[in-house]
Structure 1
Amino acid sequence: MTEVLREIPDASRLYLKAAGTLTKKPKDTPTLPTSSVRVERVSADAGHLAEYAAICGFEETTHLPITFPHVMAGALHLYLMTQKPFPFPLLGLVHIRNEIRQHQALTADGVFDLQVRIGEARSVRQGIEFDLLTEALRDGEALWSETSTILHRRPAPKSAVAPRPQPPASLAEYRSFSAPADIGRRYAKVGRDYNPIHLAPWTARLFGFKRHIAHGMWSAARCAAVLERELGRAPKELSVQFKQPLFLPGKVALKFVRGRDGIDFSLLSARSDKTHLTGVLR
């Protein structure tokens, strides 16, 4: 049964609640609750949208950027994952994939329902992963949908060493940009994602990172903003696989190749052979 809330919760308060989940110790084969939550008749705040577009590089538009509903629904993700039946500690979860489909264009002043539900858990080499399924609905019809795949990490067997991803040789064009040291704190306010791994070096070290890292969805949105201009139209699909963390501050090269129905891309470190993410924009 879907729980209906009167309004989208305050994300900052939910992150305080998330700190209380650190003591959770999931079983070998945890069962995820079949939880679902919905808020009806929501719309984008004009000021919030303008700040988001500016920090991610989207041009001013009468339509929502393809990644913006993810930000609008972020507190609903947190709401489900901070409920008692959810088995994983929230802080330390890793966002590893994102699939977005824009079924119909969402206007900046449009009104729709936002709904989020938890998918099934799967055992993988790195630990346990699960999906968060998000939809923007109008009269029961999906205007926008997203599958965010999240990983609860567990120590991998010593023999299971993942190969370092290599940038595709066919990507011929590139655009460069920087990720400033404070982009994690700035995006946290706009993206409403206050995960400590993004905020400062010392908070990131608490979770095993040598320094703080850029939000994956900021990196993905920044790529989408650049490539949307190359695509020449509003995109209908964005698929992203997050590979290696982008430590802050950092400089990156967005390499891409144009295909018949879209653009394949990789976000690479400008100073090493690391691949931060790969994806397709159609």
Structure 2
Amino acid sequence: MNATLARLPSAEGLYLKAATTVLRRPKGKPRIPQYGVQVKGVRVSAQQLSDYRQVCGFADSHTLPITFPHVMAAALHLHLMTQPQFPLPLLGLVHVRNRIEQVRGLGTGESYDFDVRLGEAREVRQGLEFDIVSSVTVDGAEVWNEVMTTLYRTPGPKKPAAKPAPLPASLSDYIAVDAPADIGRRYAKVGKDFNPIHLAPLPARLFGFKRHIAHGMWSAAHCTALLADHLEGEPQLLDVQFRQPLFLPGRAALKFAHGIGEHGSGNGIEFALLARNSDKVHLTGLLR
């Protein structure tokens, strides 16, 4: 089932609707339905883009940051998950990874058609993972796509987690990263993600966190912005795995290495965001 909307919905209004999904209690193995939503002729908000660049650290450009279409589509993600047939409560879902690809730089003045749909679901050690697949086209040709993977934790005993692979020793370059206490609130306004775990300590504690945490997509975008000068031309791929939360305020280190790519292709930048005062890994990724 696919629906076509005349315009992008309000993310703020959908978050109020999302709060009501806390009453959802899936029985047995939840089944993720297959449906999507489309919006045609979407234009970039110059103010939102300017604010996004400032919050995430991107320089001015005639093209969009590779992560910006994600925030343009944020309300469509919420639209799908607040439909009555979606079985899971939204609060408590865990963002696991993102893979974004673009075939060219997307112009700030272009008009874009968005297609967002629920993708594959699979059982994993901690519960149920499912994908949200977003596609952006211009004149019928795809120019950008994303697979965002989210985890719904299910109750019951779990198998021991596999030990994460050690970070490559080649990650030798270093950039200090500071995440101020208000970055969650600032990013929420431009990223249209008002999950309370990112906004202030008290609501975050209600969901089991000692303090509020940075948005994963702010961390990923900020790393991408910091690495932009180390990449030749427009990025084509951003592949990020989220590992452990970055508590706010937080101090981290972006470690990276040039000349690394998928399967040894040698044309990308492999990176990791690490805590500066412990061995905690917040995220790992590849940009090329």
Using the TM superposition, give the Cα deviation of residue 43 of structure 1 relative to its aligned residue in structure 2, in angstroms. 1.3
Any residues of structure 2 matched to 1:109-124 within 5 Å, and which?
Answer: 109-124=109-124
Match of 1:242 in 2: 242
| Cα distance in 1, alignment partners of residues 4 and 159 from structure 2 | 46
Verify the 8 A CA contact 2:125 2:159 in the aligned structure 1: no
Match of 2:270 in 1: 264
Structure 1 residues 187 and 150: CA distance shift in structure 2, 3 A: same
Secondary structure of the 1:58 match is: coil
| Cα distance in 2, alignment partners of residues 272 and 279 from structure 1 | 19
Runs of 5+ unmatched residues, structure 2: 260-265
Verify the 8 A CA contact 1:165 1:274 in the aligned structure 2: no
Match of 1:216 in 2: 216
Secondary structure of the 1:22 match is: helix
1:176-233 CA-to-partner distances (Å, cap 9, x unmatched) read: 1200011001100010100011011111111111111000000000000011111132
Verify the 8 A CA contact 1:125 1:156 in the aligned structure 2: no
Match of 1:190 in 2: 190
1:64 partner amino acid: L
1:49 partner amino acid: L
Aligned identity (percent) is 57
Match of 1:128 in 2: 128
Verify the 8 A CA contact 2:126 2:158 in the aligned structure 1: no
| Cα distance in 2, alignment partners of residues 265 and 212 from structure 1 | 24
1:137-156 CA-to-partner distances (Å, cap 9, x unmatched) read: 12322110000000001246
2:5 partner amino acid: L
Secondary structure of the 1:235 match is: coil
Match of 1:167 in 2: 167
| Cα distance in 2, alignment partners of residues 146 and 8 from structure 1 | 18
Structure 1 residues 189 and 166: CA distance shift in structure 2, 3 A: same
Using the TM superposition, give the Cα deviation of residue 164 of structure 1 relative to its aligned residue in structure 2, in angstroms. 5.9
Say yes or no: does 1:281 pair with 2:283. Answer: no
How much is the aligned-residue C-alpha RMSD, in angstroms? 1.3
| Cα distance in 1, alignment partners of residues 158 and 132 from structure 2 | 30
Using the TM superposition, give the Cα deviation of residue 104 of structure 1 relative to its aligned residue in structure 2, in angstroms. 2.4
| Cα distance in 2, alignment partners of residues 123 and 192 from structure 1 | 29
Secondary structure of the 2:190 match is: helix
Match of 1:180 in 2: 180
Runs of 5+ unmatched residues, structure 1: none
| Cα distance in 1, alignment partners of residues 251 and 98 from structure 2 | 23
* Alignment size in residue pairs: 282
1:271 partner amino acid: N
| Cα distance in 2, alignment partners of residues 236 and 77 from structure 1 | 23
| Cα distance in 1, alignment partners of residues 126 and 159 from structure 2 | 12
Verify the 8 A CA contact 1:212 1:248 in the aligned structure 2: yes
TM-score w.r.t. length of structure 2: 0.95
Any residues of structure 2 matched to 1:82-121 within 5 Å, and which?
Answer: 82-121=82-121
Match of 1:47 in 2: 47
Using the TM superposition, give the Cα deviation of residue 30 of structure 1 relative to its aligned residue in structure 2, in angstroms. 1.7
Using the TM superposition, give the Cα deviation of residue 234 of structure 1 relative to its aligned residue in structure 2, in angstroms. 1.4
Secondary structure of the 2:29 match is: coil
TM-score w.r.t. length of structure 1: 0.97
